[in-house]
Amino acid sequence: MATRRDDIIKKIMQRVVKTEDGCWIWQGPTSGDGRGGGYPRMNLDGQTVAVHRVIFTCFFGFIPGKKQIDHTCRNRLCCNPEHLEMVTHKKNQLRRDLANRQARTQSISP
Ligand SMILES: [Zn+2]
- Is residue 20's pLDDT more than 80? yes
What pLDDT does residue 72 have?
Answer: 95
For residue 77, the CA-to-ligand 1 centroid distance in Å is: 8
Does the predicted model carry a pTM greater than 0.95? no
Q: How many A from CA of 56 to the centre of ligand 1? A: 13
Residues 6 or more apart whose Cβ sits within 8 Å of residue 80: 18, 22, 23, 24, 55, 73
Q: What is the percentage of the chain residues whose pLDDT exceeds 70? A: 95
Q: 110 pLDDT exceeds 60? A: no
If residue 42 lies in a helix (H) or strand (E), which one and from where to where? strand 41-44
Average pLDDT, the chain: 91
- Per-residue pLDDT band for 108 (boundaries 50, 70, 90) equals low
CA of 25 to the centre of ligand 1 (A): 7
CA angle 80, 75, 98 (to 5 degrees): 130
Surrounding residues of ion ligand 1, Cβ less than 5 A: 23, 73, 75, 78, 80, 83
Q: Is pLDDT above 90 for 5?
A: yes
Confidence of residue 34 (pLDDT cuts 50, 70, 90): confident
pLDDT band at 19 (very low <50, low <70, confident <90, very high): very high
Task: Identify the band that residue 1 occupies on the pLDDT scale cut at 50, 70 and 90.
Answer: low
